[in-house]
């Protein structure tokens, strides 16, 4: 059991918050394997537009997904300041390109507000809730919903 899990208050969970454009998102820390600096990816022919390519991660081939493009936002233009969040989704490991990791949050279910009804069906598929913390609005993403099994096979 990891240090973070042992020190959690019962009923709480830890999330990693990150930035894409001017918005903040977060994912469950238990799905994150590591965070690393941007590495140029080798393009993969016929891959979906949000798949930037592949990198070699200590001998394992890792697909890199432009999370901004996957969320329907403007395509990222990676710089040395961008980071890759290596995340486990069911049986797949994928690198998620984001602008920066901004925070590690410890929350309880009471901190999670429902996604407003004005959101599109696509947003409600992957958005599990909204966190309003310190004047910040952070969208909580469910990675397994963002990359269903059929799409993760492509990635």
Instruction: Say what the pLDDT of residue 5 is.
Output: 46
Question: Distance between the two ends of the chain, CA-based, in angstroms?
Answer: 29
- CA gap 106, 104 in Å, rounded: 7
- CA gap 152, 155 in Å, rounded: 5
Residues 133, 111: contact at Cβ < 8 Å? yes
- CA gap 57, 107 in Å, rounded: 31
Q: Is 65 helix (H, G, I), strand (E, B) or coil?
A: strand
| Token couple for 63 | 């697909």
Instruction: Say what the pLDDT of residue 4 is.
Output: 45
Residues 36, 84: contact at Cβ < 8 Å? yes
Instruction: Say what the pLDDT of residue 1 is.
Output: 41
| Token couple for 95 | 């690198």
Instruction: Say what the pLDDT of residue 8 is.
Output: 61
pTM of the model: 0.85
**pLDDT tens track, the chain, 155 positions:** 444 445 566 778 999 999 999 999 999 999 999 999 999 999 999 999 999 999 999 999 999 999 999 998 999 999 999 999 999 988 889 999 999 999 999 999 999 999 887 666 666 678 889 999 989 999 999 998 887 665 544 44
């Amino acid at each position: 059991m990891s240090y973070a899990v042992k020190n959690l208050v019962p009923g709480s969970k830890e999330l990693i918050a990150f930035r894409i454009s001017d918005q903040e998102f977060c994912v469950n820390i238990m799905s994150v394997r590591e965070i690393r600096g941007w590495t140029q990816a080798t393009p993969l022919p016929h891959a979906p537009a949000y798949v930037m390519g592949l990198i070699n991660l200590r001998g394992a081939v890792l697909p890199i997904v432009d999370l901004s493009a996957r969320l329907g936002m403007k395509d990222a233009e990676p710089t040395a300041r961008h980071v890759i969040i290596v995340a486990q989704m069911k049986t797949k490991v994928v690198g998620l390109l984001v602008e920066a990791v901004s925070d590690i949050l410890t929350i309880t279910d009471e901190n999670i507000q429902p996604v407003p009804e004005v959101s599109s069906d696509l947003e409600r598929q992957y958005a599990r809730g909204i966190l309003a913390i310190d004047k910040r609005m952070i969208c909580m993403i469910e990675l397994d919903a963002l990359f269903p099994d059929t799409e993760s096979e492509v990635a």
